[in-house]
Amino acid sequence: MNNKNKTYLVVTPFFPSEKSFVGSYIFDQVNEIRNQTNINIHIVKVVSFFSNEKDYFFNNFFVRIFKIIDFPFFILPGFFNKINKFRFKAFLRRVNIEKIHFSHAHVSYPSVYLIQDLECIKMAQHHGLDVLQLMNGRNSLLRKIQKTYLIKNTIKHLNNVDINIGVSNLVLKQLKKYKAYEPKQEFVLYNGVDTKKFFFKKNSKNHIFTIGCVANFWKTKDQITLIKSVKSILNEGIEVKLRFIGSGSCLKYCKRYVSDHNITNNIIFENEMPHHKLNDFYNSIDLFVLPSYFEALGCVYLESWATNTKFIGIEGQGISELISNYDKKNLLAVKQSVSSLKEKIRLAYNSGENYTFDMRYAIHNTISEFLQQPFFNEK
């Protein structure tokens, strides 16, 4: 790839800062592109018009803030898109980002909407299974009312980009459910792991078999099924410990359940920690479990795997694409099934073996494959 003096524009609502690690997977991606090329990379983070966020540096990337004019609470997203596109192009001129060769938009709205008029190779990357963001917004009635509007507008924008990228085949399958979706090109770019951040460290063996889980406490992450599975194992006289890291709307309910069933000594809720510190956490546990049943891929699976820590997920999620058929019977449980998850945990407890990481999913290799694709040399 001849990339000398080429400009690569990243447009994203998520990018980490000193105060928040949200978007770490996007940082890892662009950082690896920077490591492997001499492309000029520009980061534009899109935020609400009412945000107080200002331009900032993060790990030698200068992150520019662009504020979107929009109705609050995800009401009729894109209604002001003509104005925002005009403002965006003026913004790019003002900050001297011109002669763009590649634009890489993360998440359909607002990022993909903004890049429509740019004359370059346009990429849209989808990170979740709600690819058209139909679940966004606080009001369920409003979500139903604007569903058709959102589908029509977003599909039109996705058909206009040069390539749609999914973090798993499962993500792209969600897009194919819409008959109007007619992509020019598609590509699967798994969220690779930076093995300089996540790697095996020799630790002393835990006296008590320890399970870890890192995730937002949302309904679809289904921590409660994991808690019930561990409770059942404890009732059988097998001593295990479960460590949670995360916050969210379901945290209070989970804590109350643990307290009500007198298992507070075995199930621990810990504060969120900086992303770079998670390597020590993964290395300190015997098993990682994420019982999420709406998971495009799950970076945390790969991070724990990179430390050679065995993990358990749920059938039919993006992570299943990376697991051999032989291993699936041990590593994947049935959705929302306490008995199935309990069985998989007991298998891991009795085996005591780690799960060696597949280096194909190291970010150096996933990005190397990405950069070799023909669309990088089309214009």
Spatial CB neighbours of 118, under 8 Å, sequence gap ≥ 6: 9, 89, 100, 103
SS3 at position 150: helix
Q: What average pLDDT is seen over the chain?
A: 95
Q: Residue 137 has what pLDDT?
A: 87
228 with 350, same domain: the answer is yes
Q: Is the dihedral of CA 84, 86, 87, 92 positive or negative?
A: positive
Number of structural domains the chain divides into: 2
172 with 123, same domain: the answer is yes
91 with 158, same domain: the answer is yes
Going residue by residue through the chain (379 aa), what tens digit of pLDDT does each one get? 556 679 999 999 999 998 889 999 999 999 999 999 999 999 999 999 999 999 999 999 999 999 999 999 999 999 999 999 999 999 999 999 989 999 999 999 999 999 999 999 999 999 999 999 999 988 888 899 999 999 999 999 999 999 999 999 999 999 999 999 999 999 999 999 999 999 999 777 789 999 999 999 999 999 999 999 999 999 999 999 999 999 999 999 999 999 999 999 999 999 998 888 999 999 999 999 999 999 999 999 999 999 999 999 999 999 999 999 999 999 999 999 999 999 999 999 998 777 899 999 999 999 999 999 998 876 5
Rounded Cα–Cα distance for residues 207 and 209 (Å): 7
Q: Residue 379 has what pLDDT?
A: 52
Residue 277 lies in a domain: yes
244 with 151, same domain: the answer is no
Q: Residue 139 has what pLDDT?
A: 84
User: Phi, psi at residue 118, to the nearest 5°?
Assistant: -75, 140
* Environment class of 257 (CB within 10 Å of its CB; exposed 0-12, middle 13-18, buried 19+): middle
Question: pTM for the full model?
Answer: 0.95
Place of tokens 């913004």: 91
Model confidence over 310-350: pLDDT tens digits? Answer: 999 999 999 999 999 999 999 999 999 999 999 999 999 99
- State the alpha helices, DSSP H only, in the chain: 24-36, 81-94, 113-114, 140-145, 147-160, 169-175, 223-235, 251-260, 278-284, 299-306, 325-331, 338-351, 363-371
236 with 277, same domain: the answer is yes
215 with 181, same domain: the answer is no
Q: Residue 4 has what pLDDT?
A: 67
CATH number at residue 123: 3.40.50.2000
165 with 301, same domain: the answer is no
238 with 166, same domain: the answer is no
367 with 355, same domain: the answer is no
Is the peptide bond between 274 and the residue preceding it cis, with omega within 30 degrees of 0?
A: no
Residue span of the structural domain in which 174 resides: 7-192+362-377
322 with 182, same domain: the answer is no
132 with 70, same domain: the answer is yes
Number of alpha carbons in the 13 Å side-chain half-sphere of residue 93: 7
Q: Residue 375 has what pLDDT?
A: 82
